[in-house]
């Protein structure tokens, strides 16, 4: 985009400057509300007005992008906030993975019940204490 601006702007600037410096006659400018007359070379007036127009155009362009800059600042602020929250969640997830690994290690250290003990526990009678516990927990042991 910058190359295209330069490709168009540079020849245009050269044409305007050549036009300005070719016209060397004196010009009188009346500043109406103040009743002041200024006599300057026409080339100086053209260059001055060109520079003034460039500065004013840049200023108004900068003002027109104020909402965009505000939205960008808000998005950056939200991005920082979400990044901090993500880091917090990543740390929490790492802690949960560590807990899961430690639980797996504990489970691996416990002896596995044999098939015979599973069958005998299946056919065992429930005592009153275990029946009361089952009722208190909603039938889940």
Could you tell me if 79 and 106 lie in one domain?
yes
pLDDT tens track for 78-109: 999 999 999 999 999 999 999 999 998 888 88
pLDDT tens per residue across span 28-75: 988 888 888 989 988 888 889 989 999 999 999 999 999 999 999 999
Sequence-distant (≥ 6) Cβ neighbours of residue 28 within 8 angstroms = 37, 38, 39
Give the E-state strand segments of 58-127 in sequence order: none
Residues 77 and 49 in one domain: no
- In this structure, are 47 and 8 located in the same domain? yes
pTM exceeding the 0.85 threshold for the entire prediction: no
The total number of structural domains in the chain stands at 2
Question: pLDDT-based confidence at 138, cuts 50/70/90?
Answer: low
Domain-located, residue 135:
no
127 pLDDT above the threshold of 90: no
* Longest CA–CA separation in the chain, Å: 120
Q: Does residue 92 lie within any of the structural domains?
A: yes
Domain residues for the domain of 78 are: 67-110
Q: 131 pLDDT exceeds 60?
A: no
Inter-residue contact 130 to 139 (CB < 8 Å)? no
């Amino acid at each position: 985009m910058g190359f295209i601006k330069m490709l168009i702007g540079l020849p245009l600037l050269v044409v305007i400057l050549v036009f300005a410096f070719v016209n060397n006659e004196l010009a009188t400018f009346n500043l109406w509300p103040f009743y002041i007359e200024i006599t300057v070379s026409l080339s100086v007036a053209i260059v001055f007005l060109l520079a003034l127009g460039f500065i004013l155009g840049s200023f108004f362009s900068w003002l027109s992008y104020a909402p965009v800059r505000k939205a960008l600042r808000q998005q950056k602020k939200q991005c920082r906030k979400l990044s901090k929250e993500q880091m917090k969640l990543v740390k929490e997830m790492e802690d949960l993975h560590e807990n899961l690994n430690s639980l797996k290690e504990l489970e691996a250290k416990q002896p596995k019940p044999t098939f015979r003990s599973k069958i005998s526990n299946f056919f065992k009678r429930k005592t009153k204490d275990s029946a009361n516990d089952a009722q208190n927990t909603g039938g889940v042991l």
